Amino acid sequence: MKQRDLIKLLENNGWRFFRSGGNHDIYTDGTHMEPIPRHKEINEQLAKAIIKRRGLK
Across the 57 residues of the chain, what is the mean pLDDT of every consecutive 10-residue run? 97 97 96 96 97 94
pLDDT at residue 57, as a whole number: 85
Contacts of 11 (CB under 8 A, 6+ apart): none
Tell me if 1 sits within 8 A of 44, measured CB to CB: yes
Within the chain, where are the H helices?
A: 3-12, 44-54
pLDDT at residue 23, as a whole number: 95
Tell me if 10 sits within 8 A of 47, measured CB to CB: no
pLDDT at residue 38, as a whole number: 96
